[in-house]
Structure 1
């Protein structure tokens, strides 16, 4: 039986490939639980310092499987979304950078999975859609949380209400995507970016990720105190010592993630 999720580790980068190309990498339980388990293991593996999520075949992910729509019971839908939620939280909680590498189409929960990642790189010809309204549903997978924080409530409502595809170019202009590249360069550019992050100060990246995500719910006083405590801890890391030494020697630092 073909695995619905492929795992590969190269140059301290774990690549997770959604592998249901015949259904445009729509999510099934095995895919979602596989992502969760892979991220749990990566979180405790110091040899993995960055993660990429991509799709096999013609698309990143179509999100929910249209073949099961209309036939699933309320209980089954509730349980499936619970698994999806666990996957989204695993991406947000891992203290390592996660890059979504998007080509073709990212729709529904597939778009929201990309939004949950820390960074998004996409091919210039890719398209994104929050197509829930087309089937009389609301967003799941955290889209109602992530998108308004990036583009504001008015545009988010427009995208959710219309459900129409949005180009990569427009989302780049709105700050949703970090980078857009020619489709033939997507894999190479993604790899280069991930390897660059994997060679960085991993502990500091993890703390930055937490601090930025928490900034939407904490007060200024709380963030200031979090920064104060975190900085006090990070000055004792090997990466900080290496960074200071490299700065004084006018050379590129060699971080170990410790």
Structure 2
């Protein structure tokens, strides 16, 4: 089965689901391109107040499928940070490497109790794929980042919630519903910006430079 991005409107939210089940939703270039197109559409559609990014159960994203997806992945990470609608990650099961980067780039994060975040991508274990480690370093103490970046280790949902990275925990299978309830509980002022955060994420020059350096290093290798 080929990889696809499933899109579904839920009220004023757009739910985007990564679907590549035989690889636990590993990212292809086409899948990243579809996600980027969907985010661009959401940016232009003023009726969309929020985007929920998830993977079809039981996993979120296991990392990169191939190196051709790397550049498109970087575009997706920057689009998630810049997109005006609120971006809520709904993570079930594994979020590894590129998948961890997608999750950590979201504005809010809902984790199923079985979620596991691992910063190392098996396709490029010596690179910070998608800026997962850079993003984690903005959110977590250094020793915790080091633990999540070690081979075979990672951070579970309960610990990430305890550390303040996850906004909500939920039983497995309910992350999207929990994300939608979280969005519904957020007040909305007519004619106000859709993503009215105290620390907007639309000036990530350091992240852009970091991703560019990672891409150039891989292409040179």
Which consecutive unaligned segments of at least 5 residues does structure 1 have? 69-76, 218-258
Give the total of aligned pairs: 205
Aligned to 1:87: 76
Give the 3-state SS of the residue equivalent to 1:52 in structure 2: strand
User: Residue 213 of structure 1 corresponds to which residue in structure 2?
Assistant: 201
Structure 2, unaligned runs of 5 or more: 206-221
> Is 2:102 the partner of 1:113?
yes
Superposed structure 1 runs of 4+ greater than 6 Å apart: 214-217
1:171 aligned residue (153, 156, 160): 160
3-state SS of the aligned residue for 2:148? helix
Decide whether aligned partners of structure 1 residues 134 and 125 sit closer, same or farther in structure 2, where only a CA change above 3 A counts.
same
**CA distance in structure 1 between the aligned counterparts of 2:177 and 2:125, rounded to whole angstroms:** 39
- Distance verdict in 2 for CA 1:9–1:135, change over 3 Å: closer
Partner Cα distance (2:151, 2:129) in 1: 16
Q: TM-score, normalized by length of structure 1?
A: 0.71
CA shift for structure 1 position 207 = 4.0
**When the two structures are superposed, what TM-score results if normalisation uses the length of structure 2?**
0.82
Q: Aligned pair in 2 of structure 1 residues 188, 214: CA closer, same or farther (>3 Å)? A: closer
Structure (1/2) with the larger helix percentage: 1
Report the alpha carbon displacement of residue 139 of structure 1 after superposing the two structures with TM. Answer: 1.7
Partner of 2:40: 40
- CA distance in 2 between counterparts of 1:213 and 1:175 reads 18
Output the CA distance in 2 between the equivalents of 1:204 and 1:182: 32
Residues of 1 paired with 2:43 and 2:203: CA distance? 22
Task: Please point out which of 126, 134, 144 is paired with 1:137.
Answer: 126
Higher Rg of the two aligned structures: 1
Q: How far is the alpha carbon of 1:206 from its aligned partner?
A: 2.4
Q: CA deviation at 1:61?
A: 0.7
Describe the SS at the equivalent of 2:14.
Answer: strand
Asked whether the equivalents of residues 92 and 173 of structure 2 are also in contact (C-alpha less than 8 Å), the reply is: no
Match of 2:143?
A: 154
C-alpha contact (below 8 Å) 2:49/2:85 kept by paired residues: yes
Residue 251 of structure 1 is matched in structure 2 by none
Instruction: Measure, in 2, the Cα distance between the counterparts of 1:130 and 1:15.
Output: 24
The alignment status of 1:29 with 2:29, answered yes or no, reads yes
- Give the Cα–Cα distance (whole angstroms) in 2 for the partners of residues 137 and 99 of structure 1: 28
SS in 1 for 2:188: coil
* Residues 174-213 of structure 1 deviation map (CA, whole Å, 9 limit, x = unaligned): 122111112254332222123334x62373452426x343
Contact 2:3 2:28 in 1 (8 A): no
Alignment partners' CA distance in 1, 2:202 and 2:75:
18
Report how far residue 168 of structure 1 moved: 0.6
> C-alpha root-mean-square deviation of aligned residues, in Å?
2.6
Distance in structure 1 (CA, Å) of the matches to 2:22 and 2:76: 22
- Quote the Cα distance in structure 1 between the aligned partners of 2:122 and 2:140: 19
Q: 1 CA distance for matches of 2:123 and 2:36?
A: 29
